[in-house]
A = this chain, B = another copy of it.
Amino acid sequence: MTVVSIKSLLAGRVAQGSEVEVRGWIRSRRDSKGGFSFLALHDGSAQAAIQVVAPGELANYQADVLRLTAGCSVIAKGVLVESQGKGQSFEIQASGIEVCGWVDDPDTYPIAKKRHSFEYLRTVAHLRPRTNTFGATTRVRTVLANAVHRYFYEREFQWINTPLITASDCEGAGEMFRVSTLDLMNLPRTEQGAVDFGADFFGKEAFLTVSGQLNAEAYCLAMSKVYTFGPTFRAENSNTSRHLAEFWMVEPEIAFANLDDDAALAEDFLRYLLTQVLENCEDDLAFFNQFVDEGVLARAQKVASTPFERMDYGDAIKILEKSGKKFEYPVRWGLDMQSEHERYLCEEHVGGPLIVTNYPKDIKAFYMRLNDDGKTVAAMDVLAPGIGEIIGGAQREERLDVLDMRMAEQGLEGLEWYRDLRRYGTVAHAGFGLGFERLLNYITGMENIRDAIPFPRTPKHADY
């Protein structure tokens, strides 16, 4: 008797006629007039359930099998046989059904019904992975995350676990979460009456990071090719379908590289990820394509197989100005592009993925490399049909004097350690950031980013 996953069974990895044991949860039960029952059993390993035929001769047929409801956990033993029914190749002719756990009051089981709104399912985030949709999301997420690591590992990148807690005073603390062990009912004070963070755990005010990039740069300038893949945080009080307070971000950083190299890496990386998901999540993508967004398969195939166009920001603005389209937000050189502009460019103008480069310096961060025109920086955004910006990156300013000037312009001080990287063996280097949940939404067609992460954190919500 071999314990097997339903995924292995459905993939044909077990010979017909084998004695097998499968373990999982009942999705549905259907009783035949012939005195036996069909059980749909799933175990999370695959989109599909396996059909288990429970004969009336089982000793516990009346006592147990006929009482099974959705969500009960069972261990089924039997022989793998060719299925006579439609929709599956194999089924299990059971010789034993052991019930491990019942469902308390099946009528009030929170996910008993077949269809629930995603909004409702967020209120039972501990049970929603038992649904088709969230099981599929979980599997695609795992395949995607592993593809991220594999891509970089095979290309000799080092994975750098940059710190989550930071006391860097340079990253716009307004939208950061404070991390503290101070007793709020008895706050230590300085002589001037301010809060004395010297008495806090880290000896100064500390926050949750918004990006691992600056830290990753330090390792990039020693190891040549690095990436981060970890949680980042925004304390933005935004209740939209695109904002999470806690989300995962991928940030590669490469040395001896300019903006062209960066764009090439972003394109290759994104196409690799989509290819991997297309190859390894066939059933789950088919599910999303059928029930969530019928465009997802074609879109993923398109992005995976189409070379990305490249366009200068200045040209992009001209195209938008000449487009004759009525946009909600203004279009003018010097302004940032909104989602409607990005989507027009890649969906209507180019008809595919697009990398826009060289944005005005005043709308970009201090660490992006100043171009020779003195007005733009070597920044890029990767725009994809159906979503707009999916990756943002830049060549970094490697010249200490220019970096100092840019920091002064933006009123930034400190970061001596970051300046050191330009004092000691500085090189051209570049990198980008990819929001992992945003990409997962793009691939699955799920609209709300709260449905792309197991336990979403948003304003007023940190349950479970």
Do residues A195 and B202 form an inter-chain contact, with CB atoms below 8 A?
no
Asked if A381 is an interface residue, CB under 8 A from chain B, the answer is no
Query: How far apart are A193's CB and chain B's nearest CB, in angstroms?
Result: 9
How many angstroms from the CA of A141 to the CA of B219 in the assembled complex? 13
Query: How far apart are A206's CB and chain B's nearest CB, in angstroms?
Result: 5
Asked if A75 is an interface residue, CB under 8 A from chain B, the answer is yes
Do residues B7 and A165 form an inter-chain contact, with CB atoms below 8 A?
no
How many angstroms from the CA of A256 to the CA of B75 in the assembled complex? 9
Do residues B161 and A454 form an inter-chain contact, with CB atoms below 8 A?
yes
* Complex: chain B residue closest to A206, CB-CB: B462
* Complex: chain B residue closest to A106, CB-CB: B424
Do residues A160 and B138 form an inter-chain contact, with CB atoms below 8 A?
yes
How many angstroms from the CA of A163 to the CA of B208 in the assembled complex? 14
Do residues B104 and A245 form an inter-chain contact, with CB atoms below 8 A?
no
Do residues A223 and B138 form an inter-chain contact, with CB atoms below 8 A?
yes
Q: How many copies does the complex hold?
A: 2
Contact with B along A158-176 (1 / 0, CB 8 A): 1111111111100000000
Residues of B within 8 A of A102 (CB): 425
Do residues A222 and B101 form an inter-chain contact, with CB atoms below 8 A?
no
Do residues A165 and B126 form an inter-chain contact, with CB atoms below 8 A?
no
Do residues B420 and A202 form an inter-chain contact, with CB atoms below 8 A?
no
Do residues A180 and B181 form an inter-chain contact, with CB atoms below 8 A?
no
Contact with B along A42-54 (1 / 0, CB 8 A): 0111000000000
How many angstroms from the CA of A184 to the CA of B138 in the assembled complex? 39
Do residues A460 and B203 form an inter-chain contact, with CB atoms below 8 A?
yes
Contact with B along A104-140 (1 / 0, CB 8 A): 1000011000000000000001110110001100110
Do residues B181 and A177 form an inter-chain contact, with CB atoms below 8 A?
yes
Asked if A142 is an interface residue, CB under 8 A from chain B, the answer is yes
Do residues A127 and B218 form an inter-chain contact, with CB atoms below 8 A?
yes
Do residues A202 and B425 form an inter-chain contact, with CB atoms below 8 A?
no
Q: Which of A283-313 contact B (CB under 8 A)?
A: none
How many angstroms from the CA of A135 to the CA of B141 in the assembled complex? 31
How many angstroms from the CA of A150 to the CA of B454 in the assembled complex? 21
How many angstroms from the CA of A256 to the CA of B99 in the assembled complex? 12
Query: How far apart are A45's CB and chain B's nearest CB, in angstroms?
Result: 5
Do residues B101 and A398 form an inter-chain contact, with CB atoms below 8 A?
yes
Do residues B45 and A224 form an inter-chain contact, with CB atoms below 8 A?
yes
Do residues A219 and B164 form an inter-chain contact, with CB atoms below 8 A?
no
Query: How far apart are A372's CB and chain B's nearest CB, in angstroms?
Result: 18
How many angstroms from the CA of A378 to the CA of B215 in the assembled complex? 42
Name the segment of A229-237, A317-325, A363-371 touching the other chain. Answer: A229-237
Residues of A within 8 A of B (CB): 5, 7, 23-26, 43-45, 71-73, 75, 100-104, 109-110, 125-127, 129-130, 134-135, 138-139, 141-142, 145-146, 149-150, 153, 156-168, 177-182, 184-185, 187, 194-195, 201-204, 206, 208, 215, 218-219, 221-225, 230-231, 233, 235, 237, 245-246, 248, 255-256, 398, 417-418, 420-428, 453-455, 457, 459-464
Using A110-B420, A184-B187, A230-B231 as known contacts, list a sample of 7 further A-B pairs with CB atoms less than 8 Å apart, ordered by residue number in A: A25-B222, A45-B224, A45-B225, A104-B423, A167-B462, A201-B235, A202-B457
What are 20 A-B contacts defined by CB distance under 8 Å?
A25-B222, A44-B225, A45-B156, A73-B256, A129-B218, A138-B219, A145-B159, A162-B455, A163-B454, A164-B233, A164-B246, A167-B462, A177-B181, A178-B180, A179-B179, A184-B184, A201-B235, A201-B237, A202-B245, A204-B462
